[in-house]
Amino acid sequence: MEYLNFIKEKGNAVIEDLKKAMAGIRTGRPSPALLEEIKVSYYDQMVPMKQVGSIGVQPPRELFVQVWDKTAIPGIVKAIETSSLNVSANVDGNVIRVFLPELSAERREELMRHAKKIGEDHRIEIRHIRDEAMKQVQEAFNAGDFGEDQKFKTKESIQKEVDRLNSFIEEVLEKKMQEISE
């Protein structure tokens, strides 16, 4: 059972990382998650944007950052403009506004490819975790910790968990593809 807990723990960490990565991919509608994890140089430290200001949405396609410290504004503007979003930032007092233009068909395709690559990278991570768990089971079997029946049952339950994690990755990817194509 410790092997199953190992794969669940590591697998859930991979899933959380996948959710964050997918939230950072732009879709047709604005989301604060697009800016939250962008790293900003603030007092010689690289911190996520969500730590230097509050991020909000101004419908239909505008994001804004209410900056808490005016000295952070140049760093935030630079971070936004050099990010993968390909947008410019406008300063309005303590507020930085980011207008998100309509996505072109070409840009949608590019974003879909990027999302698929992120999904595949996370599937590979899950495979590595599975291989590590299977290796631990084999080592325990070779050491005589349990019999062959137990080894096969444990490997089977590990594979079931991997299948569950992979189907979840697929769901997240499908949902993101849908959002991009809207």
Q: What local confidence, expressed as pLDDT, does residue 174 receive?
A: 95
Q: What local confidence, expressed as pLDDT, does residue 97 receive?
A: 93
User: Which residues partner with 92 through β-bridges?
Assistant: 95
pTM attached to this predicted model: 0.76
Q: Which domains does the chain have, with CATH numbers?
A: 2-22+104-181 (1.10.132.20), 29-99 (3.30.1360.40)
Q: What local confidence, expressed as pLDDT, does residue 180 receive?
A: 86
Q: How many CB atoms within 10 Å of residue 154?
A: 21
Q: What local confidence, expressed as pLDDT, does residue 95 receive?
A: 92
Q: What local confidence, expressed as pLDDT, does residue 85 receive?
A: 79
Averaged pLDDT in 10-residue chunks for the chain of 182 residues: 86 93 81 87 91 90 91 91 85 90 86 93 96 92 89 93 95 92 81
Q: What local confidence, expressed as pLDDT, does residue 1 receive?
A: 66
The CA distance from 43 to 20, in Å, is 25
Pick from 115, 157, 109, 149: which is nearest to 133 by CA? Answer: 157
Q: How many CB atoms within 10 Å of residue 25?
A: 19
153 with 114: CB under 8 angstroms?
A: no
